[in-house]
Amino acid sequence: MAKSKVTVQINTERCKGCDLCVSFCPLEALSLDERINQKGFHPVRFSDQAGCTGCLQCQLMCPDLAILVVRKKREE
């Protein structure tokens, strides 16, 4: 049986901390980081990658294309 594995990649230097992805994540797995990126914004951080279902809401809502959700199939 194949199982889906999800990886969320965040380009923290591209992120302007608009909070849209945080607001739309149904699992509340994203939050704004305390650190500041080179542009002076608090970028988003992923707090619960293990619980991510790969719904793509964060990727779809990001106006700066700073989030990429990658789904890979793995064999059990």
| Per-residue model confidence as pLDDT tens digits over 21-43 | 999 999 999 999 999 999 999 99
CB neighbourhood size of 19 (10 A): 14
| pLDDT value for 71 | 85
Scanning the structure block, which residue is given the tokens 């779809």? 60
Cβ contacts of 50 within 8 Å, gap of 6 or more: none
- pLDDT category at 2 given cuts 50, 70, 90 is very low
Q: Which domain holds residue 37?
A: 2-75
How high does pLDDT run on average in the chain?
88
Cβ contacts of 41 within 8 Å, gap of 6 or more: 15, 16, 17
CATH code of 42's domain = 3.30.70.20
Which spans in the chain are helix H?
Answer: 20-24, 57-61
Q: How many domains is the chain partitioned into structurally?
A: 1
What CA–CA distance (Å, rounded) separates 23 from 25?
6
